[in-house]
Structure 1
Amino acid sequence: MASQSISARQRLIQAALELFSTHGVSSTTTRQIAEKAEVNEVTLFRHFGNKHGLLLAVLEESAAFKDLGESLVRRATPPGNVYQALKDYASDSLHSLERIPEFVRSVVGEADQFPAENRRALGRGLTEANRYLAQYLATVIQQGDINTYLPAEKLASLLNGMILGYAVIEFTSEFHELWEDRDDFLENLVELFLHGAMSSAPRSAKEAIVTKEVADLPAILVHKILQNARKSGVQDYALAYVLLGAGLSVREIIGLQQMHQVSDPQGLILQITTPELPRQVPVNQWILGKHYGSYTNNPLIKWLKSRKDNYPAMFIDHAGNSISESELLQRWEIWTQGLLTPQGKPPEIAQAQQTWCVEMLMRGMSLEELSMLTGCDRSQLQPYARRAKEKAALEAAIRLDHKPA
């Protein structure tokens, strides 16, 4: 028979799932399951011990959930769009539950009638369902793609609990007005999850700046990047100048408008208008020991004076729209092509902001002052203070070596 090509264990799990869905867990007997799987009861007991052991296997080894979890884990390396990955996971989870609605109703509706063994099996099954999601979240947290104050296991429990709660409501009371439709629920679920329990990184200057390990760029590399940007054109030079001379995030730079340039007799100031961190930031005339013009004559001013258009954005694409994040990243790759950091890696655009923070501290700015310019707490800027002290100690050692004993 064709069914014999499938192992007895898998036939028992599939038969149990079908019968549990049709008759409920409590009303289904081991004999019925064995007959449907075309094995004897002894085989069932040998594999699972009893019915609650079989229920646990159904919950743990359903191919749909196993494949779903493994697929999510694979998406963590290399990291992709966390929002889309979580939304796809939630959507696919609901589709998997939707294929077995009677089983869900039975497990939920009869839970109080289950013996302790079955309830423990249900608990272990839910714990196992959490494992893959927690593994995915732990990976993206470690990679720095999300910031969170809760451990991955707790985050996984919250998300899976909300998904299961939605499924129970949908399968037992479809006549509600809690959400417009499933997509409305999914979008709001992931938005709440990402902006409540955790946050995508980076979504603001504050999140981009805060880091566990500072990897500022050496002066020779910074000047080479600016030199390459200058060769690419007036706008490229201005972009690189603002990146390395003002400590702004990519998101803040692409949001700049021409009117955000603030006139000041003492220097060039930019008005940052992001909802999270509205503030004013000066653009340095000196970058790592080299002069890049005055506040009235520098790469940014030259770019703005060269403009013959009326587009409001400070940095524009060929159609006059604000330059996109992807286009700015492409330009950075062109400027840094063939360059390597002391760690032997290509420079990353986020390191421009880190370099600026360290340079400001090296030049005498206090943590309190840097906190005002970046919007970060002093405690969050401690890694930059440590890095600045390391560089100061290195410079002091070099100076001592130049003096005769």
Structure 2
Amino acid sequence: MSRPRSSARTRLINAALELFTSQGVTETTTRQIAELAQVNEVTLFRHFGNKQGLLLAVMEESAVFTQLGESLKEQVGQTSNLEQALKKYASDRLKALEQVPEMLRSVVGEAGKYTVENRRALGLSITLANRAFARYLAAVIEREQLSPSIAPEKLASLLNGMLFGYLVIELTSEFHELWEDREDFLDNLVQMCLHGSVSSEDSQQFLNLPLSHQEPETPSKKVADLPATFVHSILQQAKKRGLRDYALAYVLFGTGLLPQEVVALERLHQITDTQEHLLQITQGAIRQVPVNQWIMGKRHGSYTRNPLSQWLKSRKDEQSALFINDATQPLTEAELRNLWQEFTSGLLTPQGEPVLIEQARQTWCVEMLMRGIDLDDLSILSGWDVNQLQPYARRAREKAALERALRADQKT
């Protein structure tokens, strides 16, 4: 049976990418593109208007440009700190764009010939790509509990701008002495993004620490815990998707574990009887954490019968991992983050933003403090030091004050 032929639009985009890459935009004619795509020029003009419109479609839709952006969600779980995340993104972006050097030279050289509409559309596509990178940075920053001096959106813009500048110089000039090689450029670019170009002598000791050991400045730390009704909605949506997703949501909100800690759990790390349900954490801070039956005022089973125990009871595999994917392999952090996005789909925070998986831990921290756990005990349970927990203590006091005020008003 013959394979169905791809659409004329797809063939035109693929043909244009091939010709733009091999001989540049300037030297490529619409007739050449149409011939390679096995359509007539009229079809090209009907779909894209002109060559610049086709160039814009190539940049927006071809795999060379979209594949990297689509992989950012997976990359969050593949990097251990912000420095690694920045360097991996920068390196991957350069590798992807270097696949089309002639096209990039032509894009720079022909920019003045584009119509206002095409320039506006091209600018929008760049903005959308930049926002995707900013969300990636925000997720890593939140995961590492950092307090950046530059907003993720600005940091993403700076980094992307410098990457494009590097490519323009490399593709249009020879024999410069700006940096030794690509690795030298990337190392200095990442260090500048992390620490700025100038630091005081007093702060140098801090800057020389591995990023994963740097403590956030607590006054600027924003706690984004979630309301009880919102948490219950997430748990309900996860429950509808199946036992595994329900168990994942239950563990995230019932233990406050980081995503990388959740995926490292094995069956033997579970300690349970009628009096307690504990998880032994072996990733990061080694500790034991209780699995709470009560989450934001609502009970989810008992120590021996709950969403996690039900998930484990339903399994027929021999995998030692506590959580597995559909192929019965240990769940990866990237897969966990994707599942989180799926069972929180359609839900927006009170600020109108998508909910991040890290907010489950923040919500748990505030809830534990609201229940009366002191900072020292929470430090042991969470693996964070007391300084990192100060913003959560303040947030818990704010919520407690509001509750007391509401109760006082009801009594008058």
Amino acid at match of 1:251: Q
The yes-or-no answer on 1:197 pairing with 2:201 is no
> What TM-score comes out, normalization by structure 2 length?
0.52
Unaligned runs of 5+ in 1: 1-74, 92-138, 153-181
Amino acid at match of 1:382: Q
Unaligned runs of 5+ in 2: 1-68, 76-84, 96-133, 151-180, 195-206
Amino acid at match of 2:239: R
Kept after mapping to 1: 8 A contact 2:139/2:356: no
Deviations 1:234-261 (A, max 9, x none): 1111000001110001111111111110
Q: Tell me what 2:314 maps to.
A: 306
Q: Tell me what 1:243 maps to.
A: 252
The yes-or-no answer on 1:266 pairing with 2:272 is no
More contact order relative to length (CA 8 Å, sep ≥ 6):
2
- Residue 330 of structure 1: how far off its partner (Å): 2.0
Amino acid at match of 1:307: R
Query: Runs ≥4 in structure 1, deviation > 6 angstroms?
Result: 88-91, 147-152, 182-194
Deviations 1:114-138 (A, max 9, x none): xxxxxxxxxxxxxxxxxxxxxxxxx
Q: Tell me what 1:217 maps to.
A: 226
Q: Tell me what 2:122 maps to.
A: none
- What does residue range 2-401 of structure 1 map to in structure 2 within 5 Å? 81-85=85-89, 145=140, 197=208, 212-274=221-283, 276-401=284-409
Deviations 1:190-224 (A, max 9, x none): 99999x83656xx79x99x9981001110001011
Question: What is the alpha-carbon distance in structure 2 between the residues aligned to residue 258 and residue 211 of structure 1?
Answer: 39
- How many residues align? The count is 255
Kept after mapping to 1: 8 A contact 2:251/2:291: yes
Cα gap change, 1:272 to 1:382, in 2 (>3 Å): same
Kept after mapping to 1: 8 A contact 2:87/2:187: no
Question: What is the alpha-carbon distance in structure 2 between the residues aligned to residue 248 and residue 210 of structure 1?
Answer: 23
Deviations 1:286-331 (A, max 9, x none): 0011010110000001111111111111110122211122222222
Question: What is the alpha-carbon distance in structure 1 between the residues aligned to residue 93 and residue 208 of structure 2?
Answer: 17
Specify the SS of the correspondent of 1:263. strand
Cα gap change, 1:199 to 1:83, in 2 (>3 Å): farther
Kept after mapping to 2: 8 A contact 1:210/1:376: no
- Residue 150 of structure 1: how far off its partner (Å): 11
Question: What is the alpha-carbon distance in structure 1 between the residues aligned to residue 234 and residue 269 of structure 2?
Answer: 25
Cα gap change, 1:189 to 1:245, in 2 (>3 Å): same
Specify the SS of the correspondent of 2:280. strand
Kept after mapping to 2: 8 A contact 1:150/1:197: no
Cα gap change, 1:191 to 1:298, in 2 (>3 Å): farther
Cα gap change, 1:260 to 1:213, in 2 (>3 Å): same
Amino acid at match of 1:214: V
Question: What is the alpha-carbon distance in structure 1 between the residues aligned to residue 402 and residue 321 of structure 2?
Answer: 42
- Residue 264 of structure 1: how far off its partner (Å): 4.8
Cα gap change, 1:199 to 1:333, in 2 (>3 Å): farther
Cα gap change, 1:188 to 1:268, in 2 (>3 Å): farther
- Residue 345 of structure 1: how far off its partner (Å): 1.2
> What TM-score comes out, normalization by structure 1 length?
0.53
**Structure exhibiting the larger radius of gyration computed from Cα positions:** 1
Question: What is the alpha-carbon distance in structure 2 between the residues aligned to residue 150 and residue 227 of structure 1?
Answer: 34
- Residue 380 of structure 1: how far off its partner (Å): 1.2
Specify the SS of the correspondent of 2:288. strand
Kept after mapping to 2: 8 A contact 1:362/1:392: yes
Question: What is the alpha-carbon distance in structure 1 between the residues aligned to residue 148 and residue 208 of structure 2?
Answer: 7
Kept after mapping to 2: 8 A contact 1:87/1:186: no
Amino acid at match of 2:272: S
Amino acid at match of 1:398: L
Specify the SS of the correspondent of 1:391. helix
Question: What is the alpha-carbon distance in structure 1 between the residues aligned to residue 328 and residue 245 of structure 2?
Answer: 15
Deviations 1:314-369 (A, max 9, x none): 11012221112222222212221221211111211111000000000000000000
Deviations 1:8-60 (A, max 9, x none): xxxxxxxxxxxxxxxxxxxxxxxxxxxxxxxxxxxxxxxxxxxxxxxxxxxxx
